[in-house]
Amino acid sequence: MHVIEQPGDRALALLTAGNLSLSQAILSALQEGVETPHGRETLRSVPTMLRAAQLVGNAIRQVFREDGPSLEAQKIAFDVSLLLGGEIAGDDMHLYQLYAAGNFIEASPDTPFLQIGEHKYGKPILDRALNHATPLEDGVKLVLISMDSTLRSNLAVGLPMDLLVLRRNELRVGLQRRITEEDSYFRLIRERWGNALREVYQAIPKPDWG
C-alpha cells in the first residue's frame, strides 16, 4: 500500500500485487514523473482521478516497454495488477483496478468493490454481504472477515496487513492501521466469526434424503 496525501487537495492509495520488481519499477516511474500529452505528471500533480488512473496505466506500459522483452526472454510473465482509489479536490471519489496492459475498470454501484492478489477465499463473503449502501464501519468489518478467511485458507498469505480508510470530501487519510497478530480487534473478528459460522451451520436442519 502506497499513500499519496496532500491534505485539503488529495488523498490517494495505490495497492499492488504480482511481481514485486515490476511493482517497484512502476512506483518509481510514478514518483519520478511519467511523460504524457500534458507534460511530465505525477500522482501529486494530476487534476482528476481519471487522469491519475491514466497516468498509472502509462507507467505500467512504460515499464513493460523497458522490461517486457527481457522478461519474455526468461519466460517470466509480466504479472502485475494495481488498485488506485481516492479523491482529488474538485473531483468525485473513485476506485480503479488496473491490469498488466495498463487498461483499467472502475468500481460502481453495481460492482461496489474491486480486488487484486489472492481473493478467491475471501471474495464470496463480500459477494454475499457487501453492497453500495453498506455503511463504512460495516465495510471495514467485512473486509477484515474476508481477509481472515484468506489467511486461514492460503498459507502463502500472512499478516501483517495494512488497512486504510478514506472518507468522501475529507481529502485526507481518515484511518491507517497496520494489523498484526497482536491486534485485539482483529482477534475479536477472528474469534466471533469462527464461532458464528459453527453456530449457523449447526442450526441448519439436517438433510432429509433418507
pLDDT at 95: 98
Q: How far is CA 65 from CA 30, 61, 122, in A?
A: 15, 6, 34
Question: Is residue 7 pLDDT above 90, yes or no?
Answer: yes
Say whether pLDDT at 210 is over 80.
no
Gap between the Cα atoms of 43 and 58, Å rounded: 12
Task: Give me the residues paired with residue 98 across strands.
Answer: 82, 104
Q: Please state the domain extents for the chain.
A: 1-111, 118-204
Q: Is the pLDDT of residue 181 over 90?
A: yes
Q: What single string gives the DSSP state of each residue in 166-200?
A: E-TTT-SEEEEEEE-TT-HHHHHHHHHHHHHHHHH
- Provide the pairing of β-strand 173-179 with 161-166: antiparallel
96 pLDDT higher than 90 = yes
Region 162-188: mean pLDDT is 96
pLDDT digits (tens, 9 = 90+) for 19-69: 999 999 999 999 999 999 999 999 999 999 999 999 999 999 999 999 999
Half-sphere exposure of 181 (CA within 13 A, CB side): 3
The pLDDT confidence band at residue 104, using thresholds 50, 70 and 90, is very high
Report the half-sphere exposure of 32 (CA within 13 A, side-chain side).
Answer: 12
Closest CA to 102 of 43, 153, 62: 62
* pLDDT above 80 (res 161): yes
Question: What average pLDDT does range 99-123 have in this prediction?
Answer: 95
Question: Given this model, what pLDDT does residue 119 score?
Answer: 85
Q: Which residue has the higher pLDDT, 89 or 158?
A: 89
For the cut 90, the answer to whether the pLDDT of residue 155 exceeds it is: no
Burial group, residue 20, by CB count within 10 angstroms (0-12, 13-18, 19+): exposed
User: CB neighbours of 180 closer than 8 A, spacing ≥ 6?
Assistant: 159, 160
Residues 6+ apart with CB under 8 A from 186: 144, 148, 179
Name the pLDDT band for 164 (thresholds 50, 70, 90): very high
The whole-number average pLDDT for the span 165-178 is 96
Residues 6+ apart with CB under 8 A from 31: 42
Average model confidence (pLDDT) for the chain? 96
**Percent of the chain at pLDDT exceeding 90:** 95
| Bond before 205 cis per omega within 30 degrees | no
Report pLDDT for 156. Answer: 83
CA–CA separation, 86 vs 163, rounded Å? 14
Q: How confident is the model at residue 73 (pLDDT cuts 50, 70, 90)?
A: very high
Band (pLDDT 50/70/90 cuts) for residue 80 is very high
Residue showing cell 477465499: 121
- Count of CB atoms situated within 10 Å of the CB of 91: 16
